[in-house]
Structure 1
Amino acid sequence: MDQGPVLLVVAHGSRDARHAATVHALVERVRSLRPGLRVETGFLDFNLPSVPAVLESLAGDGVREVVALPLLLTRAFHAKADIPAVLREAPPVLRVRQAEVLGPSPLLMTALERRLYEAGLCPADKATTGVVLASAGSTDPEAIAVIASFAREWRRTGWRAVRPAFASARLPRTQDAVRQLRALGCERVAVAPYVLAPGFLPDRIARGAADADVLAEVLGSAVEVARVVLQRYDRAGVRSMSAVGA
């Protein structure tokens, strides 16, 4: 039975071993939700296998259709520049379509909220709690605008306040946003890392959360993240098949 294009999850990679381990755990979750779908993982840097190596292997296996999904929460430099550049070098026998990045998505909001509850909050705390939406940061204005919009949407679900913060490239830092929420009069302050896997910048977020009441875990292999991966795959795969049949 034809299972559709192969899904290639494209991760950035990191010197921190926790990063690759988390990516692989997420990919296993995706496989568990879609048995029979071939899912491969490639890294842009630091980890193996590299994206070019995976593409070569797929071509050698007789694969002809690939959906490459950037394991990113915002559409910034990696999604706009270096991932497309790598995919353009794919073997000519492959038809490769790049899927959209994961964020924003209501499912990611649900995952963030669940991580906060796992860290000790409960739904009854929402109206008196300020949340720092702490992302890695970017120099791309589009990515920053998306984070700000996401924070506003999350605030409308009932939190006392939601403030974006960034571990790099932009201000405020996590610790500054924590202080802002204290000054606003929030009964408690929680930090929700809007990142997929542990590493250097998530560790910086954690250090900045020292004065917060609650620090959630990274999104990691949350089932909601895996569902977003499959949503992005399905949308890209349908467009790819339509283009081929046109």
Structure 2
Amino acid sequence: MSPSPAAPVLLVIAHGSRDPRHAATVHALTGRVRAARPGLRVETAFLDHCAPGVPQVLERLAADGVRDVVALPLLLTRAFHAKADIPAALREATARHPRLRVHQAGVLGPSPLLVGALERRLSEAGVGPTDAGDPGDRGRTGIVLASAGSSDPEAIAVIARIAREWRRTGWQAVRPAYAATLSGSLPSTADAVRALRAEGVRHIAVAPYVIAPGFLPDRIARGAREAGADVLADVLGDAPEMARLLLRRFDEALMPRLALALA
């Protein structure tokens, strides 16, 4: 059964990349979201490099008679794309389609579900969970939390806070690193690995805090290899925690609408 045009639609807005693995990973994630909530119409748009773009998808939704759209940035922090690019694209589209109500959801991070996805990817890469009464791999492993990077101080502060809080779960160390070091004070992946090694950490794993493959994730991987990291986990991708988080952000964006309907 097709979703009713009256039902809200989830529009996932990804960054886009020339690397075909990026779009394939995004579509795998949105496919998992559809499977988790049958009956929810889930559309995908990209800001750059990939099709379809945001205007094209919203044009199609308006033509289908859809009234409510939750636009969800597939981003881990509130940086330039979340603060400027996506709102501008949505304002332009709603000006052209005034009957279309677009509710912008929050970015994905920070969230315990993202930490859960990081833990899953580390486990899949061979870094075992903590056993009861034994710190196991966790207590003997230093983690490099490698994000794409940003010039936005808010985004940088969020990554640093995630690293501090994740360290308290029992890892020997957790250090933030950045693929795009837009400031000389920000460590690269290789720098962070070498710093942990110099401090005596013998087992080091790099956990990419990125959603899909592409240019910057490849840079993270090169830095991990060049500096001699012992483990390189996969990108977050279509981890089950990611699908649950997208649905949580969708529901949160609709809460004001539901409250108004119940008033």
- What TM-score bracket applies, with the shorter chain setting the length? over 0.9
* In structure 2, distance between residues paired with 1:232 and 1:240: 14
Q: Could you list the structure 1 runs, at least 4 aligned residues long, displaced by more than 3 angstroms after superposition.
A: 1-4, 240-246
* In structure 2, distance between residues paired with 1:64 and 1:245: 18
Name the structure 2 match of 1:153: 165
Q: Quick one: which amino acid aligns to residue 34 of structure 1?
A: R
Inter-CA distance 67–83: structure 2 relative to 1 (3 Å threshold): same
Structure 2 residue ranges without an equivalent (≥5): 130-135
Report the Cα offset of residue 237 of structure 1: 1.2
* In structure 1, distance between residues paired with 2:61 and 2:261: 19
Cα RMSD for the two superposed structures: 1.4
Say which SS state the counterpart of residue 89 (structure 1) adopts. helix
Inter-CA distance 53–244: structure 2 relative to 1 (3 Å threshold): farther
Query: Pick from 83, 100, 105: which aligns with 2:106?
Result: 100
* In structure 2, distance between residues paired with 1:191 and 1:4: 41
Q: Summarize deviations over 1:49-92 as a string: whole Å, max 9, x none.
A: 11100001000000000000000000000000010000001211
**TM-score normalized by the length of structure 2:** 0.91
Report the Cα offset of residue 184 of structure 1: 1.7
- The percentage of aligned residue pairs carrying the same residue is 71
Inter-CA distance 107–242: structure 2 relative to 1 (3 Å threshold): same
Name the structure 2 match of 1:217: 234
Query: Pick from 142, 151, 154: which aligns with 1:142?
Result: 154
Name the structure 1 match of 2:203: 188
Q: Summarize deviations over 1:115-153 as a string: whole Å, max 9, x none.
A: 011111112200010000000000000000000000111
Task: Determine whether 1:68 maps to 2:83.
Answer: no
Report the Cα offset of residue 4 of structure 1: 3.8
Structure 1 residue ranges without an equivalent (≥5): none
* In structure 1, distance between residues paired with 2:138 and 2:199: 15
Name the structure 2 match of 1:172: 187
Name the structure 2 match of 1:238: 255
Q: Summarize deviations over 1:159-181 as a string: whole Å, max 9, x none.
A: 00000000002420000000111
Name the structure 1 match of 2:55: 52
Task: Determine whether 1:30 maps to 2:33.
Answer: yes
Q: Quick one: which amino acid aligns to residue 189 of structure 1?
A: I
For the 8 Å contact 2:7–2:66, the answer to whether it is kept is no
* In structure 2, distance between residues paired with 1:241 and 1:77: 30
Say which SS state the counterpart of residue 198 (structure 1) adopts. coil
Name the structure 1 match of 2:246: 229
Report the Cα offset of residue 187 of structure 1: 2.3
**TM-score normalized by the length of structure 1:** 0.97
Report the Cα offset of residue 245 of structure 1: 7.1
